Amino acid sequence: MKKTSLMKNSLVLTGFSLAMRIAGIAFSMYVAAGVGAEGMGLYQLTYSAFTLAVTMATAGISVAVTRVLTEEQGLRRRGSERPVMRCALGYAALVSLTAAACVLLGSEYIGSVLLSDARTALSLRVLAPALPMMSLSSCFKGHLLAVRRPIQIAVSDAIEQVVEVGTFVFLIRRFPGLAMETACAAIAAGVTLSELASCVYLFVCYRRYRERPAGRQAGGFLRRLLAVALPVAGSSCLASALRTMENVMVPSGLRKSGMSEAAALSDYGMVRGMALPVLFLPFAFLSAFTSLLMPEISEAQAAQRDGYIHTLVERVIRSCLLLSIPAAAIFAVFSGPLSELVYHNSQVGMIILILAPLVPLMYFDAVADGILKGLGQQNWVLYCNIADSVIRVFMVYQMIPAMGFTGFMLVMYVSNIFNPVLSIWRMMKLSHVRLRAGEWIAKPLLAAGASSLTVRLLCLRNPAAQLDVYVVIAEILLLGLLYAAFLWLLSGEKKDLRTGYRLRRKGSGA
């Protein structure tokens, strides 16, 4: 990919990603107003179980399609696209229909026994038909990533968001006063319809951008696809099962600590459904570029362009740290105003404040996962996730019943330190990048600390003003400008502030 194309796609995807995350937070606000924190917790509990079925239906498919197709591109072999997609779509249909049947037929048992809340069964039945669409969409997304059409994937995500929100809003307004169980099923209906709409759009895009048959086709594509997909699927299912177990155990553990059922679901919903979406909002500026890393690095690795991989990874690490460190500072300073303006709930602000120091590690972990998958290390990523999940399940079982919500926060801290550290170590080892702690960490930390302190002294002396959304936005922008100024002073050279993706392909002749 030429560097201009990479920058163009990154900028467009950043806009899409930011818009989708803002829309997601707005939707969370609407849902929270409609069903409350307890309803958010109930739906999050339902979806945590459904996620295991999603993993069974989709795990490894998109990665396998992208990797096989980009390897073929790196070897300059044409004519392989259609047979690869036929194999992938057949495999996707088989596993997704099996998973959908399991959810549909077992919804009552899953809800009543496994989740210990029979109100989740209706939503599970409504969600089950979405699984085949999700699986087929994974194939199409893998193809579009391989042929460098990420914007179409972003459009499909936008279609999903619009249909999901529109369906829920229509049902809530058409049938006001729905019971909590039925309201959660309305959210599930939006998910199912959105996946159908997205799948149709992605299929149209696939037909438009697919390769015309040319040359002699190679064979063994099903074997190559399964060689990537099956290990990923097996490990992903294990990791997802552990995560589902953890998500079921958290509300149960909170109840054992002395909370009521409503309070336990409310606290769980505030963390998973309200605080975390806000914390990941700035990641929109990185997620677009991260989504392009896997096919770009995979193709470069097949072509043995090690210098290009080194340069790309170094730039991405630096950009991630330059963004995530001030993002953590913003959440630490404005946790209260943000929670009041978005959710009208001061408890969410306390959760945001507690988790704010983890933001750089959360972002870094997501970036490292994308790079490692591009380097063919998807199994390593999954092994780390499994180890992380085992530790989390053990800690949830031991700590939350004894310590309540404090134990939940400790689990979040341990997990978001353990997993990123392993992924980052492996990524830097394989790409031969050395972390320049002074330039990439110390100086941004000092700049973020100085700008946060300045803004707090200048702007936060009038608490009443923090309930005005325009005032808060202006103060956040001021913090960002001060951060850039302090970083410029600390860097000593203007060029150190530039984070453009000007990549040199060493040894590629480009």
Domain boundary among 243, 259, 291: 243
Contacts of 176 (CB under 8 A, 6+ apart): none
187 and 275 co-located in one domain: no
288 and 239 co-located in one domain: no
362 and 478 co-located in one domain: yes
182 and 156 co-located in one domain: yes
Residue 413 lies in a domain: no
pLDDT at 133: 94
> Given a cut of 70, is residue 7 above it in pLDDT?
no
> Given a cut of 90, is residue 265 above it in pLDDT?
no
Highest mean pLDDT among 204-213, 238-247, 446-455: 446-455
pLDDT at 500: 41
Phi, psi values for residue 343, rounded to 5°: -115, -10
Q: Any idea which of 30-39, 106-115, 146-155 has the lowest mean pLDDT?
A: 30-39
Q: Is 463 exposed, middle or buried (0-12, 13-18, 19+ CB in 10 A)?
A: exposed
| 3-class SS shares of the chain: helix, strand, coil, % to 5 | 85, 0, 15
Residue 264 lies in a domain: no
Q: Please, are residues 389 and 243 in contact by the beta-carbon 8 Å criterion?
A: yes
Residue 260 lies in a domain: no
Mean pLDDT, the chain, whole residue set: 81
Residue 408 lies in a domain: no
Q: What is the pLDDT of residues 270-324, one digit of tens each?
A: 888 788 888 988 887 777 666 666 667 766 776 677 777 788 888 888 888 888 9
> Given a cut of 70, is residue 410 above it in pLDDT?
yes
Where residue 171 falls among pLDDT bands split at 50, 70, 90?
confident
- Give DSSP secondary structure letters for 224-272: HHHHHHHHHHHHHHHHHHHHHHHHHHHHHHHHHTT--HHHHHHHHHIII
Q: What is the pLDDT of residues 54-105, one digit of tens each?
A: 988 888 888 888 888 877 776 666 667 788 888 889 999 999 999 999 999 9
What integer is the mean pLDDT of 442-447? 91
Query: Using CA atoms, how far apart are residues 400 and 411, in angstroms rounded to an integer?
Result: 9
pLDDT at 359: 92
362 and 236 co-located in one domain: no
Where residue 245 falls among pLDDT bands split at 50, 70, 90?
confident
> Given a cut of 90, is residue 34 above it in pLDDT?
no
186 and 322 co-located in one domain: no
How many domains does the chain fold into? Answer: 2
330 and 224 co-located in one domain: no
Residue 55 lies in a domain: yes
Query: Using CA atoms, how far apart are residues 301 and 296, in angstroms rounded to an integer?
Result: 9
322 and 201 co-located in one domain: no
316 and 441 co-located in one domain: yes
What integer is the mean pLDDT of 402-428? 88
Q: Please, are residues 324 and 363 in contact by the beta-carbon 8 Å criterion?
A: yes
Residue 277 lies in a domain: yes
Domain boundary among 225, 243, 261: 243
Residue 392 lies in a domain: no
185 and 74 co-located in one domain: yes
Residue 218 lies in a domain: yes
19 and 131 co-located in one domain: no
282 and 196 co-located in one domain: no
Q: Domain range holding 161?
A: 40-243
